[in-house]
Structure 1
């Protein structure tokens, strides 16, 4: 059994020995490096986890084509499709400001501020019902030039292109119901240069008129020098 005096002496011995021990320096650099490595491993784990969570979202974005901002993957815009205006005999069409146009089984009728109730027969002029052709009538209406005519030809006419000295314009096709084999067209363009006498004009103001069907094929055309 150890006495109190022995215990006291042992305490003094341990205390003296402890003062003689020089502690090792704290490895601060190693601790800091270990901490950085731990943080890197934790960041990598979090990034991997977040990436796995975002994969379904990325797949959804790829599959939802309309929301893609990639022009190469977007479908091309559909071309504008023109169609003829089908009218009943005698039905008035507002072809231009203060200009009305209508059809009967005999041909094209139109009225302008300068002249009312004009008429062009479907068999009149140089047109031949047995073959494709396009007619032309033109007159100034205010600051514009009103152009119209009758066409003959097979197929469903959809649109008409008029090439003039001032550019190309798109006109409107008007026809009766069924397949009469003819119809009318109209358009407006800027006025031609009225200061040049016709005798000195090298070319017609209207260079060509072409009527197209719904597939873009030519039904009838008129070319002027």
Structure 2
């Protein structure tokens, strides 16, 4: 099992293909995504804020011809040790990052294969699962259509 990476608030995390994410002290997951399909944001933007309710897991995706970046957060009791993104019948193991000091939330990211469809604009139907270090499921979503 991969280790959870502890990061400082604002520390840039390279997710591949020129994309970066970072966590903020006030509970936001921020992305600076460069993609051939969606272009580069005029400025980095918060993709998931502290408004994710209770014990839950949520994610967004950024599709481009070379692949799809999935980034998400878990908020709730227990420490997230592992997260998976299931899309198109394939389970992707995400990398988990969190701020030091047990802030009560963690972020995860994984770079997956390109999505099918014209310019990768076909919505992805995914399932997210977050696990504790002992394998206990902390949060799980039914299959949902993921927004980009």
**Greater strand share, structure number:** 2
- Distance (Å, rounded) in 2 between the aligned partners of 1:90 and 1:142: 28
**Greater helix share, structure number:** 1
- Distance (Å, rounded) in 2 between the aligned partners of 1:100 and 1:224: 26
**Partner residue in 2 for 1:17:** none
Q: Residue by residue, what CA displacement relative to the aligned partner does 1:43-64 show, whole Å, maximum 9, x if unpaired? A: xxxxxxxxxxxxxxxxxxxxxx
Task: Give runs of ≥4 in structure 1 deviating > 6 Å.
Answer: none
**Partner residue in 1 for 2:90:** 167
Q: CA deviation at 1:172?
A: 0.8
Report if the CA contact (8 A) 1:112-1:141 is conserved.
Answer: no
Query: 1:123 pairs with 26, 32, 50, which one?
Result: 50
- Distance (Å, rounded) in 2 between the aligned partners of 1:197 and 1:145: 9
State the TM-score, normalizing by the size of structure 1: 0.55
The structure number with the bigger radius of gyration is 1
Instruction: Give ranges in structure 2 of 5+ residues lacking alignment.
Output: 35-39
- Distance (Å, rounded) in 2 between the aligned partners of 1:192 and 1:211: 23
**Partner residue in 2 for 1:224:** 143
State the TM-score, normalizing by the size of structure 2: 0.82
| 2:61 is equivalent to residue 111 of structure 1 | no
How many residue pairs align between the two structures? Answer: 137
Backbone CA RMSD of aligned residues = 2.2
Report if the CA contact (8 A) 2:47-2:60 is conserved.
Answer: no
